[in-house]
Each structure stands twice: as C-alpha cells, then as structure tokens.
Chain A
C-alpha cells in the first residue's frame, strides 16, 4: 500500500506570509496527488488536483507542484480564512490514501 507523509504537522504564520507544506509518497504516484482544505464542521474542499491544477473557484494564492514521490503545496499570501487543516491525497487504480494533515494556524 502507498503511504503518505506530510510536513510539518502544524505551523503558525502571519497574514501575508508564504506557507509551504510538503507531501511525500512511499512510491511513485506520477501526478496523482490532490490537496484538500478542511475546516471544523465542514466537508473537505478540493483545492488542487493532479498535483498542480487549481480547482474552479479556488483563489490563485493556492498552488501545488511536484510529481513522482515529492509534492509541495503553497499559499502565497496567507489570509485569515486560510486557518484550516490541509491534507494531501493520492490515488492509484484501486486505492486512495490521505496524508495525516497539516494544521495551519494564523498568528
């Protein structure tokens, strides 16, 4: 089974800061990697699909990159509403796996 790791597990940053989260897969997953935002009491929201594609309606301050086993998620200028937990998620032909999540806190 493919395992996903994320780092850091949590971070605290100020409004306007650039935030970077990394996600690593235990084996090559090409670009089959998505990023989600989750807020308490709400369903997860798809932000980035296939490693680098911005979902419709998602602000352009969110971006993703990478392929193979190493991926990066970036918030270019952190906003108060970005206070949330962020998950990477991989998929192959048969299985889906989420990363453990990164809590982003606004200072």
Chain B
C-alpha cells in the first residue's frame, strides 16, 4: 500500500516561508486519477484543508490561505511540496500530506509539526 512521508524544517521564523515536501512510495503520483493534498491541524483545533495538486499540475487552494500558498509537484521524484509564505504563530500546526481520489483522502502521511517562532 502507498506510503507518504512529510519532510522539512520543524521551526520557521515569523514572516518567513514554510516549506514542506511529501514523498510518495509508489508510482500513483504519476496517475491522472489522484489529487495530492496538504491538510493541517493546529493545537486544539480541527482539520483545515490547505490545497491540492493533480499529477498534471492543476491546483486548488483554500480561499482563506490562497494568497500565501503554493503547491507544486515533481512526479519524477515522486514528490509534491507546500510553500506557505509570511507565516505567523497561527500557522503553527501539524501538517499532513494525503492522497485524494475524487476528494476522498485514503492515504495520509504521519504528519510533521511545524512551529513558527523567533
């Protein structure tokens, strides 16, 4: 079964850009049937969908984050990435990457805690 793994810095300074990469274990990232998503959860809060990208590079973003988010994909490396600019303490969260089929997130990474602090 497919595995996803987030990687990136666990500490980011305020106003800087948060960058995370998700590595997918199999070739499904090259399949046209899936979207590749980023989802986060702040302490004591619920799940928040950040955005998604298809294997062809089509993106959709949460309107509340759209101005600060970029998701990209490199199918040759079996990776997709998240960049969130101008971060503040409210962006401190566990960030998950997930595979989505028609909007159904069937496989998730284990999550990466990112803390925004000086």
| Chain B contacts with A in 30-88, Cβ cutoff 8 A | 37, 39, 46-49, 52, 60, 62-63
Q: Give the contact stretch, choosing among B10-18, B20-28, B97-105.
A: B97-105
Choose among B49, B63, B110 the residue that contacts A43 (Cβ–Cβ < 8 A): B110
Which of B47, B62, B110 is within 8 Å of A38, CB to CB?
B47
A95 contacts B102, CB within 8 Å?
A: no
- Nearest Cβ in chain A — how far from B32, in angstroms? 16
Size band of the A side of the interface?
Answer: 20 to 34
Q: Are B47 and A87 in contact (CB under 8 A)?
A: yes
Q: 0/1 per residue, A40-52, Cβ < 8 Å to B?
A: 0011101001100
Q: Cβ of A44 and Cβ of B104 under 8 Å apart?
A: no
B residues lining the A interface (CB < 8 Å): 37, 39, 46-49, 52, 60, 62-63, 96, 100, 102-106, 108-111
